[in-house]
Structure 1
Amino acid sequence: MNPFEDMRIFCQVMDSGSFTAAADQLGLSKQFVSRRLMQLEERLGVRLLNRSTRRLDVTPLGQSYYESALRLLSEVEQVEQGIAGQTVEPRGTIRLSAPLSFAMAHLGELLPLFLQRYRDVTVEVDLSDRPVDLLGEGYDLALRIGVLEDSTLIARRIASIQRVYCASPAYLAERGTPLRPEELQGHDCLPYGHSRQVQWRFEGQGNKPLLVNVTGRMRVNNGELLKDAAIAGMGITYLPTFIVEAALKDGRLVSLLDDFEPAPLALSAVYPQHRQGSRPVQVFIEFLREQLNRGVVSGAR
């Protein structure tokens, strides 16, 4: 009997949402995981999970046990990592989720540098613009741009991402250059995402922001496609500078409304509480903070 091992298995089942997914993450059989949790419940004399053919529902006692187990496992990991860290380099695998455009612009340069510095760390990267479920899908860490939703995840700010309004010279020659945010309502715009009604935010007078409804014939949840559409003269777009910087420099795009420059977006690293003591995760976050705030890569500061 190993209480800490039982805690780890139970927490993985909770994080993964099923015995099968937890078994895959732990490299164990589904039958072994199920048997260990039954033995854990017998030893505690309580039911932690209500099982059905379709789902697992945690009981109130199970939720309490999960939260306490996470804290204990995190403390144990921090103690071990702290001792090992005095003589041993970080080692292990980081499962990372990152936005596609940001990763293409920055991680292709930074990941090799990170892996050269930490020879015993492996990184598995999934590129997606959707907000992945870190716990349910087994990620150690995700990079997110913008306002974060309230959750039990831990968030650490890494850098600021500047944004810019821009369009092609050909579009502006045909449709005119907007001088104030309100004039965007008479233009074709290229908003990010699929929302039917999109508002772009500008710095207004005092502390009150100015919100302008914009419309256009094309909406995409990928910044690279919006950049290409803007270069093709299809309208005005609003994107992070790391996506459009090269096009601004060579004149394919022109920045607009610079006097109404929006506040920068936050680039954050988010991770589950039980990964707080993971040295590979923590050194990767510190590496990104160091590189991005040093100005090694463009568009972030």
Structure 2
Amino acid sequence: MDRLTALAVFRQVVERGSFAAAARHLKLSAAAVSKNIGELEAHLAVRLLNRTTRSMSLTEAGQRYYEQVSRILDDLQQADSSLGELQATPSGTLRVSAPMSFSLVCLADAIPRFLARYPELTLDLQLDDRRVDMIAEGFDLAVRGSDRLEDSSLVARPLLTLRHVLCAAPQYLRRHGTPQVPEDLQALECVQFSLSGHAREWVFQRGEQVRRLEVCGRYSVNSSLALCAALRAGHGISLVPEIYVRDDLAQGRLQPLLEDWQMMQTQLYAIYPSRRQLQAKVRVFIDFLLEELGQQA
């Protein structure tokens, strides 16, 4: 017996006054309606309906059961409707994990505009450069940067390609010299972003030439903003996403190096659990990311 179907059949029989009317409404055969009522009564071990060839009425137990079942079915219908509204209208709490440096540089100023656009939505934005377990920690969406995304059951939507630039402060280059080829970096102080998959190996390409260099330095850090601060202070050379140092390059605080070589790139993704039945709150945040990052790119 399908319990929920049997309850719905019982309600329709009571409200429509006959098995035949309930069968027409539910698009079932009269035999199927009778079978559902019989199985429900057998399951409950109580008679719910008094029925003859000409009339039908509720027993005392049937009346009490009908009132309780009706409330339960109404609550279920309301629950279904509320989810439909949630799918259609961005509302509720949206939990997002995003890298700290990236968010502070590229998203922080735009978040208030997003919230103003969707007044029924609450945003819980967790800034953390570590790779969170979305499902275990209850996130609806995560923003992740990677040059190689691991296989996963999660959906990865590309947002932006972060082009890296090799740079240093002019005062550092005056003291230690300007590298002319990638191999020159091995004699210089290289600041490493410790969360990168290539923290200790930098790759340069020019045409068919590929150089993979093991770099070293006295400073590695898990924050791109701290790394940029070290560069501006004249402590070494580093590969850093161009978007983080765009103003520094324009103002001359940092100087690009080996510009005839192609540097690594990092793809930024929006990661979420499922492509099916995507909640409105997740969909509109992805749209916001694409819009905002598209302008910055």
TM-score range, shorter chain: 0.5 to 0.7
Residue of structure 2 equivalent to 1:199: 201
Residue of structure 2 equivalent to 1:226: 227
Structure 1 gap ranges (5+)? 4-78
- How far 1:220 moved relative to its partner? 0.5
| Partner SS for 2:221 | coil
Residue of structure 1 equivalent to 2:94: 94
1:214 aligns with 2:215: yes
Q: Which amino acid aligns with 1:113?
A: R
1:99/1:143 contact within 8 Å kept: yes
2:166/2:263 contact within 8 Å kept: no
What CA distance in whole angstroms lies between the structure 2 residues aligned with 1:285 and 1:180? Answer: 40
- How far 1:129 moved relative to its partner? 0.6
1:265 aligns with 2:266: yes
What CA distance in whole angstroms lies between the structure 2 residues aligned with 1:108 and 1:197? Answer: 26
Residue of structure 2 equivalent to 1:174: 175
| Partner SS for 2:175 | helix
Kindly provide the CA deviation profile for residues 260-292 of structure 1, in whole angstroms up to 9, marking residues without a partner as x. 132532110001128852111011101211221
What CA distance in whole angstroms lies between the structure 2 residues aligned with 1:287 and 1:234? Answer: 37
- Seen in structure 2, the aligned counterparts of structure 1 residues 276 and 97 have a Cα distance that, compared at 3 Å, is farther
1:100/1:128 contact within 8 Å kept: yes
Residue of structure 2 equivalent to 1:123: 123
What CA distance in whole angstroms lies between the structure 2 residues aligned with 1:291 and 1:176? Answer: 39
**Which segment drifts farther, 214-223 or 158-167?**
158-167
Residue of structure 1 equivalent to 2:151: 150
Q: Which amino acid aligns with 2:98?
A: A
Give the number of the structure whose alpha-carbon radius of gyration is greater. Answer: 2
Q: Which amino acid aligns with 1:244?
A: V
What CA distance in whole angstroms lies between the structure 2 residues aligned with 1:141 and 1:192? Answer: 24
CA RMSD of aligned residues (A): 2.8
- How far 1:196 moved relative to its partner? 11
**TM-score scaled by structure 2?**
0.67
- Seen in structure 2, the aligned counterparts of structure 1 residues 259 and 276 have a Cα distance that, compared at 3 Å, is farther
What CA distance in whole angstroms lies between the structure 1 residues aligned with 2:153 and 2:3? Answer: 27
- Seen in structure 2, the aligned counterparts of structure 1 residues 80 and 240 have a Cα distance that, compared at 3 Å, is farther
- How far 1:100 moved relative to its partner? 0.6
What CA distance in whole angstroms lies between the structure 2 residues aligned with 1:252 and 1:258? Answer: 17
State how 1:44-63 maps to structure 2 within 5 Å.
Answer: none
- Seen in structure 2, the aligned counterparts of structure 1 residues 159 and 186 have a Cα distance that, compared at 3 Å, is same
Residue of structure 2 equivalent to 1:190: 191
- Seen in structure 2, the aligned counterparts of structure 1 residues 274 and 159 have a Cα distance that, compared at 3 Å, is closer
- Seen in structure 2, the aligned counterparts of structure 1 residues 170 and 92 have a Cα distance that, compared at 3 Å, is same
1:197/1:215 contact within 8 Å kept: no
What CA distance in whole angstroms lies between the structure 1 residues aligned with 2:3 and 2:167? Answer: 60
Q: Which amino acid aligns with 1:115?
A: L
1:179/1:257 contact within 8 Å kept: yes
Residue of structure 2 equivalent to 1:277: 278
Q: Which amino acid aligns with 1:224?
A: L
| Partner SS for 1:273 | coil
- Seen in structure 2, the aligned counterparts of structure 1 residues 118 and 192 have a Cα distance that, compared at 3 Å, is same
Q: Which amino acid aligns with 1:201?
A: V
What CA distance in whole angstroms lies between the structure 1 residues aligned with 2:170 and 2:218? Answer: 19
What CA distance in whole angstroms lies between the structure 2 residues aligned with 1:271 and 1:97? Answer: 11
**TM-score scaled by structure 1?**
0.66
Residue of structure 1 equivalent to 2:45: none
1:275/1:281 contact within 8 Å kept: no
- How far 1:197 moved relative to its partner? 7.1
1:168/1:254 contact within 8 Å kept: yes
| Partner SS for 1:189 | coil
State how 1:68-107 maps to structure 2 within 5 Å.
Answer: 84=85, 89-107=89-107
